[in-house]
Homo-oligomer: A and B are copies of this chain.
């Protein structure tokens, strides 16, 4: 049974992962500085004798090493996930993503933990250089980065693979996510759209022209994919100890499709006000659609469509409006 160390444990995806691991019978040490994570997301986990939450920062290498001693796998999900706002605080991605990942790796070395799962992002493909308009495979062309967030995730991936290929880790699993939807979702376009519609149900501001095509994945499917790979331990028989998987659904939608789904579900007909241009913000990629044949070859399949993921997210936000009260990164 796994003894797991989860960074960013009180975050959206990580708290769902913690619940899943506990349900499977694992023991879990959660690490979070609660700067953006929500202790409420761990309410259920905290009732389990197999769970321990340690409040700490991913820049505290020694603290992490001490807390992860005895664990056999690290799920490094802590990150600055504020993709759009990089230029207002360019240090943040470097510190909280690149340098923090280095500290996680050094803590693992000190504590003798030799397996890691890392949450990366489909944004690392930048704008696909060679053949746009087809799903991007893991082996796509060496990309040009378009955001500080993606640059910091590339740096994290590079560090992790250098540690693994350099013999410092036995197994490294890098997952490049599309945007994740579902319970405890606290930032992204559904979060923004629903906040707007709470404030002014008669109109909706949409970044760009609404034609940006994106793929999304339901958080439960994201976690089942990760656990499928970790259970199969695919790195053990591969040429490289570093295994990279795209995580997404084999479909995409336009932002306008999302808007329609949300408005129908809320029974609203707001006036749509577009900010214009073909992308939502500097560094936004107008087409994110990952080739997921590699993860599907493990036998994993998503249980939810994008539409179902959107509706579940909205239902959760409707029942948890408190997330709009606390200080969240938008």
Q: Using a CB–CB distance below 8 Å, which chain A residues touch chain B?
A: 86-87, 90-91, 94, 98-99, 102, 106, 124-126, 129-130, 138-148, 150-152, 154-155, 157-159, 161-162, 165-168, 240, 242, 244, 282-283
Q: How far is the CA of A316 from the CA of B297 in the complex (A)?
A: 56
Instruction: Please give me the residue from chain B that is nearest to A94 by CB atom.
Output: B102
User: Closest Cβ of chain B: how far from A223's Cβ, in Å?
Assistant: 24
Please list 9 pairs of residues, one from A and one from B, whose beta carbons are closer than 8 Å in the complex, sorted by A's number.
Answer: A94-B99, A99-B99, A124-B142, A126-B161, A144-B240, A145-B162, A151-B162, A152-B158, A154-B158
Instruction: Please give me the residue from chain B that is nearest to A148 by CB atom.
Output: B162
Which 7 pairs, one residue from A and one from B, show the smallest C-beta to C-beta distance? A155-B155, A151-B158, A151-B162, A139-B141, A146-B165, A154-B158, A145-B158
B144 adjacent to A141 (CB under 8 Å):
no
A144 adjacent to B98 (CB under 8 Å):
no
User: Closest Cβ of chain B: how far from A202's Cβ, in Å?
Assistant: 34
Instruction: Please give me the residue from chain B that is nearest to A155 by CB atom.
Output: B155
A161 adjacent to B151 (CB under 8 Å):
yes
B165 adjacent to A158 (CB under 8 Å):
no
B142 adjacent to A166 (CB under 8 Å):
no
Q: Provide the residues of chain B in CB contact with A141, threshold 8 Å.
A: 139-142
Instruction: Please give me the residue from chain B that is nearest to A282 by CB atom.
Output: B166
Q: How far is the CA of A142 from the CA of B126 in the complex (A)?
A: 11
User: Closest Cβ of chain B: how far from A114's Cβ, in Å?
Assistant: 15
Which of B87, B91, B155, B167 interacts with A98 by CB under 8 Å? Answer: B155
User: Closest Cβ of chain B: how far from A218's Cβ, in Å?
Assistant: 26
**Highest count of chain B CB atoms <10 Å: which of A86, A124, A151, A154:** A151
Q: Provide the residues of chain B in CB contact with A162, threshold 8 Å.
A: 86, 145-148, 150-151, 283
A98-B98, A106-B90 given; A144·B130 CB < 8 A: no
A142 adjacent to B138 (CB under 8 Å):
yes
**Highest count of chain B CB atoms <10 Å: which of A144, A165, A166:** A144
Q: How far is the CA of A207 from the CA of B145 in the complex (A)?
A: 36
User: Closest Cβ of chain B: how far from A17's Cβ, in Å?
Assistant: 24
B283 adjacent to A165 (CB under 8 Å):
yes
A282-B167, A283-B165 given; A150·B144 CB < 8 A: no
Which of B129, B152, B244 interacts with A139 by CB under 8 Å? Answer: B129
User: Closest Cβ of chain B: how far from A313's Cβ, in Å?
Assistant: 29
Q: How far is the CA of A148 from the CA of B143 in the complex (A)?
A: 19
Which of B87, B102, B139, B158 interacts with A166 by CB under 8 Å? Answer: B87
